Amino acid sequence: MDYFDFLAYLIMSGVQEKLVAELGQKMIELFERGIENPDRFASLTKLSKVEAMRIVANYNKDLPTATLRAFTQALEREDEQLNKLFENAFGKREGLSNIANNIANNAAIGMSEIMRRQNIALADTQADIWYRVTAEAILRDQSGEARKDVIERAVRQLARNSLTTIDYKSGRQTQIDSAIKRHVFTQANQARNRLLFYRMDEWECDLVFTSAHYGARPDHAEWQGKVYSRSGKSKKYPSLVEATGYGTVTGLCGANCRHTMTPYVEGYSKLPNTDYSSQERLTGLSSDEYYKATQKQRRLERDIRQTKREIKALEDMGLDATKEKRNLRKQQAKVRRHVKQNKLVRDYDRERLWGVRSSRGYKSGKLIVRQSGATLETIISEYGNIEGMIDLEAEEIYEKIRNRNRVKEIKAVAKHSKLTEEEVGKIFNHVFITEHWISELDGSGLELRPFYADMPMAESWERLRTGINIQEHDILMLKHELLELEYMKKGMSTNAAHELANEKYNYQLAVKEWENNGNR
Ligand SMILES: [Zn+2]
């Protein structure tokens, strides 16, 4: 999960499904009253907008504080890294302004304003859909269709269309979670660039280079990993705006662009490696082909989430979802095939519905994320029971590991894993000792602390230490951590580094598969 996805999680935690459920319940009530007294139907539907506004507002209560905290923490961290970079390149300098808080404040205000407008638009759309669906249902009922069929049809329509907003410019309908994710991402990106340019002005630095990744959008791949001049005055490097389209929707830092900029200091900065031949060998796909394949995977995942949403809405109201479940199995088979054909990794988190975790019997509630390095648990607690999120047993094992003789510990793991002692030492610190910026369990922001303990990881480590019954995924954990650590050293957030490391070494998935095969 990317840092910005995570912010959107904070904002939307479980809202979507709860809204569908509440609105659905309300609609059925209205519907029944409307059938009893069709004359009052018009006044009942007017109620719907008020209800929708109330329900939506209720879920966004804590938003301003949460966004401000998240933005502030992200920008302060960014600023720290920027200043470190400049100090290392140009030497220490006194009297730098403290601007990060200011920019974060403005970004948070901007976000609140967007959310306020979004809420109104959402309630409007909601009331519209409500009116349409209810009116049609009443008509069908009056024409003698079976009541059960009428209700099922209405709930299906509601689940399919609920929580979408319509972009008035393009007329396109977007699911609210994707819309909010985009808003958070844009706001954070703009704030980050404002800070970047401010600091660059301060240090009189004109050049930036763009990040680069395998599988980038083809028209972005052209300019990634290269140096550009902000002012456009450089004789050696092309103009940033002209070359990358920075500032436009389709260009650098535009909609859905995940590229970032870093100040470029001649003789000091190192450009990212854009030779992807090893990845190409691994997947058998060129960067462009890989981009296309992942885009298709995202589409298939969206379809799956949509069907899951429908199933949940139907089942919440005690209605039959057999047809939808059959459809879901077909969609899952499609993803499986696609992933296998293109040597991609199945991303279960993206197929999951926020606020729903049926396998463990949780009902929708507050979304909680627990980060443990190689694993990232998304767990929903019905009662918001944060204490229940901490795995005390695993924490105890971690504590024991911390208290044992470190030199011996690292030697033993190195011997059994065939990694070097230096590598294992780095991993040891990363997993058990180092403090990272990770999400607070109540979802209110980030905190600086060691990773939370995770039982599968504790068990993997114990097997690696004793050398008894070592599993393939135990080694995978070490490799994941090492790569994740490398990415974080390059300045990536914990989440982004985790996500990227997962592309090569997906420990969490390996554990799941191992457990599914009847182990443990
Ligand atoms: Zn891009």
Same structural domain, 391 and 497: yes
CA 218 to centroid of ligand 1, rounded, Å: 9
Residue 344 to residue 335: CA distance in whole angstroms: 10
Please give the distance, rounded to the nearest whole angstrom, from the Cα atom of residue 252 to the centre of ligand 1.
5
Q: Is residue 314 part of a domain?
A: yes
Highest mean pLDDT among 99-113, 276-290, 292-306, 401-415: 401-415
**Do 184 and 243 have their domain in common?**
no
Are residues 61 and 76 located together in one domain of the fold? yes
Q: What is the 3-state secondary structure (H, E, C) of 421-457?
A: HHHHHHHHHHHHHCCEEEECCCCCCEEEECCCCCHHH
For residues 28 and 161, state if they share a domain: yes
Q: Which of 192, 224, 253 marks a domain boundary?
A: 192
351 and 371 part of one domain? no
Nearest to 495 by CA among 455, 442, 451: 451
Nearby residues of 8 by Cβ (< 8 Å), 6 or more positions away = 177, 180, 181, 184, 185
Q: In this structure, what token pair is assigned to residue 21?
A: 């459920």
Question: How would you class 281 by CB atoms within 10 Å of its CB: exposed for 0-12, middle for 13-18, buried for 19 or more?
Answer: exposed
What's the token pair of residue 365?
């509630």
Widest distance between CA atoms in the chain: 82
Q: State the CB neighbour count (10 A cutoff) for residue 71.
A: 28
Q: Which of these ranges, 65-69, 206-210, 508-512, has the smallest mean pLDDT?
A: 65-69
Dist. CA 509 → ligand 1 center (Å): 28
Is 279 within the bounds of a domain? no
What span, in angstroms and rounded, lies between the C-alpha atoms of 276 and 291?
Answer: 13
Residue keyed to tokens 């396998």 = 359
214 Cα to the center of ligand 1, angstroms: 11
Best CA proximity match to 168, nearest among 179, 156, 181, 184: 179
Q: What is the dihedral of CA 461, 465, 471, 477, to 10 degrees?
A: 40
Q: What pLDDT is attached to residue 310? A: 78
What is the Å distance from ligand 1's center to 2 Cα? 15
Distance from Cα 261 to the centre of ligand 1, integer Å: 11
pLDDT for position 419: 95
Compute the distance from residue 151 Cα to the ligand 1 centre, in Å.
45
In a domain, 244, yes or no: yes
CB neighbours of residue 159 within 10 Å: 27
For residue 115, the CA-to-ligand 1 centroid distance in Å is 25
Same domain, 469 and 504: yes
Ligand 1 mean position to 21 CA, how many Å?
Answer: 37
Instruction: State how many domains the chain has.
Output: 4
Domain that holds residue 54: 3-192
- Shared domain for 110 and 178, answered yes or no, is yes
Distance between Cα 212 and ligand 1 center (Å) = 9
CA of 250 from ligand 1 middle (Å) equals 8
Asked whether residue 347 falls in the same domain as residue 302, the answer is yes
- Judge contact between 106 and 191, C-beta under 8 A: yes
Q: What is the pLDDT of residues 420-454, one digit of tens each?
A: 999 999 999 999 988 776 766 655 556 667 888 88
What are the beta bridge partners of residue 239? 229
Predicted TM-score (pTM) of the model is 0.61
Report yes or no: 428 and 409 within 8 Å, Cβ to Cβ: yes
Q: Is residue 201 one of the residues assigned to a domain?
A: no
Distance 473 CA to ligand 1 centre (A): 33
Dihedral over Cα of 250, 279, 496, 1: its sign: positive
Same domain, 164 and 225: no
222 Cα–ligand 1 center, Å: 10
**How many residues comprise the chain?**
520
Which of 355, 381, 398 is the last residue before a domain boundary?
355
The span from the CA of 472 to the CA of 483, in Å, is 17
Same domain, 331 and 241: no
Mean pLDDT of all residues in 314-329: 83
Q: How far is the CA of 192 from the centre of ligand 1 (A)?
A: 15
Arithmetic mean of pLDDT, 279-288: 85
Q: What is the mean pLDDT of residues 215-239?
A: 94
Q: How far is the CA of 495 from the centre of ligand 1 (A)?
A: 19
**Structural domain contains residue 198:** no
Domain closes at, from 221, 240, 274: 274
Determine the distance separating the centroid of ligand 1 and the alpha carbon of 432, expressed in angstroms: 35
220 CA to middle of ligand 1, Å? Answer: 5
CA of 118 to the centre of ligand 1 (A): 26
What is the structure's pLDDT at 501? 87
Helix axes 472-489, 406-417, angle to 10 degrees: 110
**Averaged pLDDT, 394-411:** 89
Same domain, 46 and 75: yes
Distance 255 CA to ligand 1 centre (A): 9
Domain match, 398 and 510 both: yes
CA 301 to ligand 1 centroid distance, Å: 21
d(CA 60, CA 345): 34
Gyration radius from the chain CA atoms: 25
**DSSP labels for 459-474?**
HHHHHHHH-SS--HHH
DSSP 367-384: EEEEE-SS-EEEEEETT-
Among candidates 377, 381, 353, which has minimal Cα distance to 366? 381
Averaged pLDDT of the chain: 79
197 domain-assigned: no
| 199 domain-assigned | no
Cα of 430 to ligand 1 centre, how many Å? 30
Around Cβ 336, how many Cβ atoms within 10 Å?
Answer: 12
Model confidence at 135, pLDDT cuts 50, 70, 90, reads confident
Instruction: Confirm whether 380 is domain-assigned.
Output: yes
